[in-house]
Amino acid sequence: MPTPLATKSHPYKEELERLEKEKEEIDQKAQSHVMTELRVGLGFFGLQTVGLMRLTFWKVSWDVMEPICFFLT
């Protein structure tokens, strides 16, 4: 379906192209920020799990760690 912006001589065509490029850049930055946040979150939960396992099985007993784990999670 032809639209008024489909013609090459439309005055808003250049502006629309510029805005589409800007949107692509914003989308790429947003994707990179989301991936960074996901990796940091996964790393944090991994470190928390390793720390709690170490405390539970090697440093103190489960009787001490059970309420701590309950409140942390």
Specify the higher pLDDT residue, 1 or 4. Answer: 4
For the chain, the residue count is 73
5, pLDDT greater than 70 = no
Q: Are 62 and 56 in contact (CB under 8 A)?
A: yes
Over the stretch 17-47, which tens digit does the pLDDT of each residue have? 999 999 999 999 999 999 999 999 999 999 9
Structural domain boundaries in the chain? 46-73
Confidence of residue 6 (pLDDT cuts 50, 70, 90): low
In this predicted structure, what is the pLDDT of residue 37? 97
With tokens 């850049």, the residue in question is 25
